[in-house]
């Protein structure tokens, strides 16, 4: 997920993408590239898949960029792999709803999909600016592109599990780092902050204010063991 990666929100550099494609070509390793949030960063480097067309599987969807109810995805696969991929999709999913596919195609062709994308970019930018204003740019790092989530490292002495617990007790649900850790790797003391789930910015502002108040306070002392 090289563009607006989940959970960190990072964008992979041009040099790194080129290097990954080079390694994949040399070792004939398939590249499965998830570009779900790529629409939020139109100026990001080209997908890795275009640098290794015979090995790249590029996946995206309209459920994030246009509307959650448009549950349809698209995949670009190497030409030689098309029969095998088509058979696998038919065996597991059969096919997408024809009505959903028709709506998606119509919206793409008449410009409605592009209008939705532009609106989401503007809204994401506004919500990122709000997060930076409420939390402070030292915490909610300045994001050079709009996004609906960001990765926030917690200052000492906060621990991620305690911060998540304290926020939940105040009505704010946050994603702990363990959800994104691989295997038994030690998770960093950081949280994924989602900016897109609230219906409006006022609700988002209240949630961010709760986080800001927690960051300004020290975590509670652990109770003594009895």
Taking only the tens place, the pLDDT of each residue in 141-154 is 656 678 999 999 99
Whole-number Cα distances in Å, 128 to 45, 140, 194: 22, 8, 10
pLDDT of res. 136: 85
Tell me, yes or no, whether 83 and 144 share the same domain.
no
Say which CATH number the domain at 97 has.
3.40.640.10
Residue 6 domain flag: no
Residue 159 and residue 103 in one domain = no
Q: Looking at the 3D structure of the chain, how many domains does it have?
A: 2
Mean pLDDT of the chain: 91
- Asked if residue 90 belongs to a domain, the reply is yes
Among 110, 125, 140, residue at a domain's last position: 110
**Among 148, 149, 175, 169, CA closest to 214:** 169
Question: Running DSSP on this structure, what letter comes out for residue 70?
Answer: -
Q: What is the DSSP letter of 221?
A: P
Q: Which of 79, 110, 141 is the last residue of a domain?
A: 110
Q: Mean of the pLDDT values across residues 96-100? A: 91
Q: Does 159 lie in the same domain as 78?
A: no
Q: Please, which residues bridge with residue 61 across strands? A: 73
Whether residue 45 is found in the same domain as residue 104: yes
Look at residue 145 in the predicted model and tell me its pLDDT: 74
Query: Cα–Cα distance between 16 and 28 in angstroms, integer?
Result: 18
Question: Which residues make beta-bridge pairs with 75?
Answer: 59
- Residue 34 counted as domain residue: yes
| Domain span holding position 121 | 114-216
Please report whether residue 5 resides in a domain: no
- Residue 212 sits in the same domain as residue 166: yes
Mean pLDDT, residues 210-219 taken together: 91
pTM of the model: 0.86
Per-residue pLDDT band at 100 (split at 50, 70, 90)? very high
Residues 122 and 198 in one domain: yes
pLDDT in tens, 44-81: 999 999 999 899 999 999 999 999 999 999 999 999 99
Residue where one domain finishes, among candidates 46, 76, 110: 110
Q: pLDDT at position 141, please? A: 62
> For residue range 13-29, what is the model confidence (pLDDT) as tens digits?
999 999 999 999 999 99
| 150 and 200 assigned to the same domain | yes
Using the predicted structure, report yes or no on whether residue 84 has a pLDDT greater than 90. yes
């Amino acid at each position: 997920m090289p563009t607006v990666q989940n959970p960190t929100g990072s964008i992979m550099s041009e040099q790194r993408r080129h290097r990954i494609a080079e390694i994949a070509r040399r070792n004939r390793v398939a590249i499965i590239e998830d570009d779900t949030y790529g629409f939020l960063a139109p100026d990001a480097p080209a997908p890795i898949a275009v640098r290794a067309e015979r090995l790249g599987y590029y996946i995206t969807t309209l459920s994030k960029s246009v509307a959650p109810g448009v549950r349809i995805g698209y995949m670009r696969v190497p030409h030689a792999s098309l029969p095998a991929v088509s058979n696998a999709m038919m065996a597991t999913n059969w096919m997408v709803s024809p009505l959903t596919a028709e709506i998606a195609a119509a919206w793409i062709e008449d410009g409605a999909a592009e209008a939705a994308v532009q609106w989401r970019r503007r809204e994401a930018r506004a919500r990122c600016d709000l997060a930076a204003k409420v939390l402070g740019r030292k915490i909610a790092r300045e994001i050079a592109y709009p996004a609906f989530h960001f990765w926030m490292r917690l200052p000492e002495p906060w621990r991620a599990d305690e911060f998540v617990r304290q926020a939940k007790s105040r009505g704010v649900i946050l994603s702990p780092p363990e959800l994104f850790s691989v295997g038994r790797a030690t998770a960093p003391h950081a949280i994924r902050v989602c900016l897109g789930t609230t219906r409006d910015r006022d609700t988002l502002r209240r949630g961010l204010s709760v986080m800001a108040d927690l960051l300004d306070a020290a975590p509670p002392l652990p109770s003594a063991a009895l």
